[in-house]
Chain A
Amino acid sequence: MSALPRLRIAVFWLFVAACTAAAIGYARWRIAVTTQSPPAGTLLFNPNDSRVAATIDATRARPHLLFLSSHADAFGKIGLAPLDAVGSPLIFQSQLDCERAYLARTTGLCLVLNRDSMTPRAFVYFLDARFQPLSRLPLAGLPIRARVSRDEHYGASTVFVSGENYASEDFTTRTTIFDLTTRSAVIDLERFTVERDGKPFHAADFNFWGVTFRSDSDRFLATLGTGGKRYLVEGDLQRRHFRVIGNDVECPSLSPNDKLVVFKRQRTRLAGWQLWAMDLDSSETWPITEDRQDVDDQVEWLDNDRVIYGMVSGQGIPEYTLSLWVSNVRRDAGKNRQLFLQSASSPAVVR
C-alpha cells in the first residue's frame, strides 16, 4: 500500500475535506435560514387565561368544530370554531403538538410523536374539556388515527408499525381501544376473534384500523386488512368479536344517524383515494369524490348529509398545506368537494 502515489492520497483527503465542509456548511446555512425568518405569526391563545377559558366554554355550549392547526408555526395545536363561523377559529397554546387528535365534548385524544428520537416515541394523551392533558399512555408505532365514541366512554387509536411487512404485501397497524373513564387501555383489536360467513376467520397478517363507533358505543365498525384485501368489519366490544359485513371498504366513518358509512377506496395500490358512501341497510355504494385524491384521513360527519376531511393541496411542504374539505354525500349531489377550512386537519364536530 506504500506504493500508493502521494498525489492520489492527497486527492482523497481533499475530497473528504470538500464533502465534510459541504455537509457542515449546508447544515449551518440551514440553521441560519430557519432562525432568521420565523414563519408569519399565528395568534395563539392561552386556554388557562380566564377570559380565554370563558370563550372556550361559551363556544363549546353551541355546535362547534375542533381541529388541529397545520400552520407551520402552530403545527399540531388545537383549534376551536363555532360551526356557524368556522372561518374565524381560536388556536390554543399547548405543550403538546398533536400528530392526530379527536376531541369530543368533555374529553379528547391527542396522539403525539417524538419525531427526533427512536425511543420513547409515541404517546396518547387524554385531554379534558379545555384541552389540558390529564394523563398519557405509550403507543407502539407511528400515530395515524384517533376516535372517541359518542358517549365518550371509549376511545381508539391506530398506529403504523414500520418494518413488519417482511413476507406480506400489506402494511402493519396496531389499533387499541381505551376506556376514557379510567384512561387505560382495554384491548388491542388484534386479540378479537373474527368470523366471515359464519365461520372463524384468521391469518397472521390481520390488521385493523379506522375505528368508528355506533351510537351504542359497545359496537363499532373498522377496516380489516389481510392478504392485500380490505374488509368492513363490525366489532362487539363485550364479546371481543368481529363479523365481516362488507368488502373493499377502508377507513369507514358512520353518519350521526348510523345509516350511512363514508369510506375510502383505491382502484390500485398506487392510485389515489376516492371517497365512497354506503347505505348500511341496502349495502348500496356510490362515489362522492373524484378519483386520485390523497385523502389520508378518516372523514368526520358535519351533519347527516356532509362529510369533512383533511387533505393535502397546493404547493409547498405537504404537511403544512393540509386543509379541511367538505363533500356532500347524497346520491343526487354527484362528485363534489369544496374547501372548508384552510390549514387544518383532524376535524371533530360536536353538535
Chain B
Amino acid sequence: MYQSEIASDLRRRTSDPHARGAGLRGVSRNVWFLGLTSLLTDTSSEMVSAVLPVYALYFLHLTPAAFGIIDGLQQGGASVVKLASGLLTDRTRRYKGIAGSGYLASALSRLGLLAGGPSSTWLAPLVALDRAGKGVRTAPRDALISLSVDRTAFAVAFGVHRTLDTIGALLGPLLGFFILRKIRDGYDVIFVASLALAAIGVAVLITFVRTPPGTASTVAAPLAEMWTPSFTRIAASAAILGMATISDTFIYLTLQRNLGFDTTLLPLLYIATPSVYLVLSIPFGRIADRVGTMRVILIGYGAMLAIYFILTSSLPVTIIGAATVMLLGMFYAATDGVFAALTSAQLAPERRATGLALVGTLNDVGRLLASVGFGWLWTIHGPAASAVREFQGILIAALALVTALVWPMLKRSTT
C-alpha cells in the first residue's frame, strides 16, 4: 500500500496523522468546489433529460422507436470514453483541463440544441456529446477529489461530492418542469437556462478548483504497474459484485410486472431513491473512513441482497416498494463514492485517474452482464420473481467470494 500522501502537502489544516475518520473537517475546499461544479452541471443535464421525452415525442414528433435509440444513449454509460480519459489524465497530469473539457462538451451540447432549433436531426448526436462529456470528466474529477484530501477523509470527501451531485440531479427536473409550467412550449428557455448553468459550472471549475501541487510526475503507461495484489483484488471485486447486481430498471420492472405496483407512482420512486442516496452519502462516507471502506461496501451489497429477498417476499406491495426505495438509496450511498475512496487508497497518485476509471468500467461491465443475464433468466423462467430468486444465490456467492478475496483488508480495516 502506498503510504505517500501527496495531498497532505496541500493540507492547510492540522490533523493527527494517526486519527481515523477526519469527518467533514477533512474535506478541503477543492472538493466542495468540485461538488458545486457537479451540482450545477447535473442540474443543467437533468433539466434537459427530464423534459427530453416529451420534447422529442410530442414537440418534434419523433417516433417512439427513433426516440428509443436516444433514450438508450441516455441510460447507457460511456465506459470506453471514461477509460481513455483516465489514461490520458495520468499521462498528461492535466486533471483540470480534461475534466473541464468534459464539462464543456456537455455545455456545448446545449448550445447545439438551441442552434438546431426544433429539429430532430441533431438530437441523437447532441445527446451522445453530452454523455461523452460525462464519460470524459468522471475519472479526472474523482482523481482530483482523492488528491485534494488526506486519506483519512477519502470516503467522506466522495460522500460530499456525491451528495452535491445528487442535489443537482433532483433540482434539474424541478427547474425544467417549472419553466414549462410558466412558459408554454418553453423548451428553448430550458436549453438557455441549462446552458447558463453548465457555463457557470465550468467557470467554478476554472476559477476555484486547483490541481494540488506535487502531482507533477507523469506516467507513460499507467496500466503497466497498476496491478498490485490489493488493486487486483479490488478490481476483481468491482467486476464480481457488478455481475451480481440487478439494474434499477429491472428492480422497478419486477415491482410493476410481478407485484402490480401502481405504475403511476413510478416517477416518485425515481425521486425517492436519490433522496435517500443524498441524505446517506456523507454519513456513510464518515463511517467508511472510520471503520474501513470495504466493510461499508459489503454492507451496501447486503442492502442489495435485502432488496432481492424483499422482492420475493409476500409483504404488502406498498411496503415492498418503500423498503426497496430505502435500501436502493442506501446501496448507492454505501457503494458508489465509497468504492472510489477504496480504489484511491490503493493507488499511487499518478495512477489514480486510470485506476478509478478501470474499476468503474469493470463494475459497469459487470452490471451490464448482470442485466443481460437477468433478462435471460426472466425469459426462460417466466416471472421476474424467479429470476430475482436466482440472483439471491448469485449475490450471496459473490459476497462470499469477495469477502475471501479482500479478507486481509477487512482484517486490517485500514482501507
Do A205 and B66 have beta carbons less than 8 Å apart? no
Instruction: Give the interface segment out of A12-20, A47-55, A234-242, A255-263.
Output: A12-20
Evaluate whether A140 and B263 lie within 8 angstroms (CB atoms) in the complex, with A27-B193, A204-B379, A312-B61 already known.
Answer: yes
0/1 per residue, B328-355, Cβ < 8 Å to A?
Answer: 0000000000000000000000000000
0/1 per residue, B22-42, Cβ < 8 Å to A?
Answer: 000000010000000000000
0/1 per residue, B236-273, Cβ < 8 Å to A?
Answer: 00000000000111101100110000011111101100
Give the residues in chain B near A16, CB-CB below 8 Å.
Answer: 200, 203
**For the complex, is A199 an interface residue (Cβ under 8 Å from B)?**
no
How many residues of chain B get a CB closer than 8 Å to chain A's CBs? Answer: 75
Chain B positions 258-311 with a Cβ under 8 Å from a chain A Cβ = 263-268, 270-271
Do A167 and B375 have beta carbons less than 8 Å apart? yes
How many residues of chain A get a CB closer than 8 Å to chain B's CBs? Answer: 64
Give the residues in chain B near A319, CB-CB below 8 Å.
Answer: 58-61
**For the complex, is B118 an interface residue (Cβ under 8 Å from A)?**
yes
Give the residues in chain B near A209, CB-CB below 8 Å.
Answer: 64
Q: Which residue of A lies closest to B63 (CB)?
A: A296
Cβ-neighbour of B64 out of A30, A113, A144, A316 (below 8 A): A144
Do A273 and B63 have beta carbons less than 8 Å apart? yes
**For the complex, is A58 an interface residue (Cβ under 8 Å from B)?**
no
Distance of A164 Cα from B251 Cα, bound (Å)? 11
Q: How would you classify the secondary structure of chain B's contact residues: helix, strand, loop or mixed? A: helix
Do B63 and A294 have beta carbons less than 8 Å apart? yes
Give the residues in chain A near B252, CB-CB below 8 Å.
Answer: 164
Residues of B near any A CB (own CB < 8 A):
29, 50, 53-54, 57-69, 71-72, 74-76, 118, 120, 173, 177, 179-186, 188-189, 192-193, 195-197, 199-200, 203-204, 207-208, 210, 247-250, 252-253, 256-257, 263-268, 270-271, 368, 371-372, 374-376, 378-379, 382, 384, 387
Residues of A near any B CB (own CB < 8 A):
1, 4, 8-9, 11-12, 15-16, 19-20, 22-23, 26-27, 30-31, 34, 99, 113, 115-121, 138-142, 144, 160, 162-174, 190, 202-205, 209, 266, 269-270, 273, 294, 296, 312, 316-319, 322
A-B contacts, 25 listed (Cβ < 8 Å): A15-B199, A23-B192, A26-B192, A30-B188, A116-B180, A117-B177, A119-B265, A140-B256, A140-B264, A140-B266, A141-B263, A142-B58, A162-B71, A163-B74, A163-B75, A165-B72, A171-B65, A204-B374, A204-B387, A273-B63, A296-B62, A296-B63, A317-B59, A317-B185, A319-B61
